[in-house]
A and B are shown apart, each in its own frame.
Chain A
Amino acid sequence: MHEIRFHGRGGQGTVVASILLAKAFFKTGYYVQTFPLFGVERRGAPVESYLRLDKEKILIRSNIYTPDHIVVQDMKLIHSVDVTKGLKPGGSILINSRNLPDNIEPFSGFRLAFVDADHIATSNGLGTRTHPIINTAMIGAFARVLEMPPLDMIAAAIKNDINIKAKQNVSAAHQAHEEVNLYGMVENSIAPEHC
């Protein structure tokens, strides 16, 4: 089973991203279960969404505490939210960021990837410079990190669920899939202590 946690802000389509991804995986034959962080949603406030994927029927119906993968839709969240909390050793983390974060030490022991989803969104006419709509770009990039699901399944899920600018959203997912930077495993930079 794969367990995925999405971090974003209210209004960024974080929950929609996990639902679209769930639908894309479902079309490829996976059992899926996705749910938001159970709480009160406010625009701009940190939100979380979760996704489970399995080849068998998913029985467990409790929260996700030790995800295999993390998606961070807003780079600034890493200063206020412990985004790698519970992430399994060797797990992957995808961040919406133009560049490699200055300090990658918090990602030690994890596989890091980053993508400039803000730029991809705005260049596809999705949202504005201050409020880019980046969720479809993020799932396109994530599909590259995980090497699944196939992009045409993501495109189908977007076309089915999103009425406004479906074509641009599909294009953003494709572009992000192409442009995501797979940095890879972040080695532990702290020198081991000698006895």
Chain B
Amino acid sequence: MKHVLEGSHAVSEAVRLAKVQVLSAYPITPQTHIVEALSEYCSDGTMNARFLCVESEHSAMAAVIGASSAGVRTFTATSSQGLALMHELLHWTSAARLPIVMAEVNRALAPGWNIWMDQTDSLAQRDTGWIQLYCEDGQEVFDTTLQAYRLAETVNLPVMVVLDAFFLSHTFEPVDIPGQELVDRFLPPFSPRIALDTSDPFAMGQMAPPNVYMEMRHDIQKAMEQVSDIFAKIEEEFTEIFGRTYGMVEKVFCNDAQVIMVVTGTAASTCRKVISDLRSQGEKVGMLKLKMFRPFPTDLIREHLGHVQKIAVVDRNFSFGASGIFAQEIRAALCNTHNHPPVFGYIAGLGGRDVTPEILSEIYWKTKNSTAPKDESVWVGLLD
């Protein structure tokens, strides 16, 4: 049944229906309403789960690492500074092969203090071994959270479900929340491959000298390489039950497009409207929505973008001294292919600056009217 729900609470509802057993969070800014609703569910008995309210995000991740090691389904949520503080343990989670699911609300890093939308926080964690899935609206973030548990528990890697601050986290819209029975059909209880057990003690996370460490890292990559096939199968099952599908990437009007805009998060929603308006003016424009960032869907990028005339990447993030992070990754995916198109990088909407339809169409026209990129990044919407 559809309810008018805040994006944050769409995540909370998915976590409730996933029957998560241990949750931990630091409840102060930049935390969001996600864990507020969940702590209520834990205290009023709606969820049969333990909520560990801790003194920092570092401790929140440590707590779910402990719980996940003991073989229970876990959840935490954070943003910006909180995610940065977790960094050490993000590496730990993936290397310990723990299927933890975390909601990460994209918020800008300080200073200047800013709690608004910006993707640099999650993208700065790209090398930590977490799967990253970027969501466009309340329904997608609900669905993706459920899918994240199936995926994490199949490949034994942690999953970060990423949503835009405010434009998604604080926006109310109709979201279909299915009944428990339907969710149970899609998501069975977690059955861990290994779990700490006091009646049969053993040690985890031991010293790994040079004779084993490299193989352990190679195993993580092998698991990452399986994600694409496994995610496709999980989505197929999801579609069968719930009737909705998203894909690791989604192409919109791409088949005869001369310019394809690569967009993520809520900007993808706005961009659907922009390109459909441009199409009605006769412009041959398409959009590729990038949902999965880790593992990076290199094959799909080559397939859908390899033969277009121009690519325009919209980055709501920046790597200082380099360029927008999605643009870097797309350039890297294409560089070993023959005759690949030029990649135009655009920086927009940092720190909560709005990405309006006007900004997106400006990006299209700039790309259409340039023969080759002059700079690695063009900043749009800067004030004088």
What is the interface of chain A, defined by CB distance below 8 A to chain B? 19, 22-23, 26, 31-36, 38, 40, 58-63, 65
Known: A26-B4, A32-B4, A38-B166. A60 touches B172 (CB 8 A): no
Known: A32-B4, A60-B357, A62-B356. A38 touches B170 (CB 8 A): yes
B180: Cβ under 8 A from any A Cβ:
no
Closest to B172 in A: A34
User: Are B173 and A58 in contact (CB-based, < 8 A)?
Assistant: yes
Complex Cα gap A188–B343 (Å) = 52
Closest to B352 in A: A38
Nearest-neighbour CB distance to chain A for B254, whole angstroms, equals 17
Interface residues on B, range: 20 to 34
B244: Cβ under 8 A from any A Cβ:
no
Residues of chain B contacted by A35 (CB below 8 angstroms)? 166-167, 170-172
User: Are B357 and A62 in contact (CB-based, < 8 A)?
Assistant: yes
User: Are A34 and B171 in contact (CB-based, < 8 A)?
Assistant: yes
B85: Cβ under 8 A from any A Cβ:
no
Known: A26-B4, A38-B116. A61 touches B172 (CB 8 A): no
User: Are A61 and B270 in contact (CB-based, < 8 A)?
Assistant: yes
CB < 8 Å neighbour of B173 from A33, A38, A62? A33
Residues of chain A contacted by B354 (CB below 8 angstroms)? 62-63
Interface residues as binary, B330-355 with A (CB distance below 8 Å gives 1, 0 otherwise): 00000000000000000000001011
Closest to B138 in A: A33
Name 5 interchain pairs, CB-CB below 8 A, sorted by A. A32-B174, A33-B171, A33-B172, A61-B270, A62-B167
CB < 8 Å neighbour of A60 from B170, B174, B269? B269
User: Are A59 and B272 in contact (CB-based, < 8 A)?
Assistant: yes
CB < 8 Å neighbour of B115 from A19, A26, A40, A61? A40
Complex Cα gap A33–B116 (Å) = 19
Closest to B166 in A: A38
Name B160-181 residues within 8 Å CB distance of A.
Answer: 165-168, 170-174
Extra 6 A-B pairs, beta carbons < 8 Å, given A19-B172, A59-B272, A60-B273: A22-B172, A33-B171, A38-B116, A38-B352, A62-B356, A63-B356
Closest to B170 in A: A35
Nearest-neighbour CB distance to chain A for B114, whole angstroms, equals 11
B267: Cβ under 8 A from any A Cβ:
yes
CB < 8 Å neighbour of B270 from A22, A23, A59, A65? A59
Residues of chain B contacted by A22 (CB below 8 angstroms)? 4, 172
Nearest-neighbour CB distance to chain B for A90, whole angstroms, equals 23
B258: Cβ under 8 A from any A Cβ:
no
B56: Cβ under 8 A from any A Cβ:
no
By CB atoms of chain B within 10 A, which of A32, A35, A63 has the most?
Answer: A35
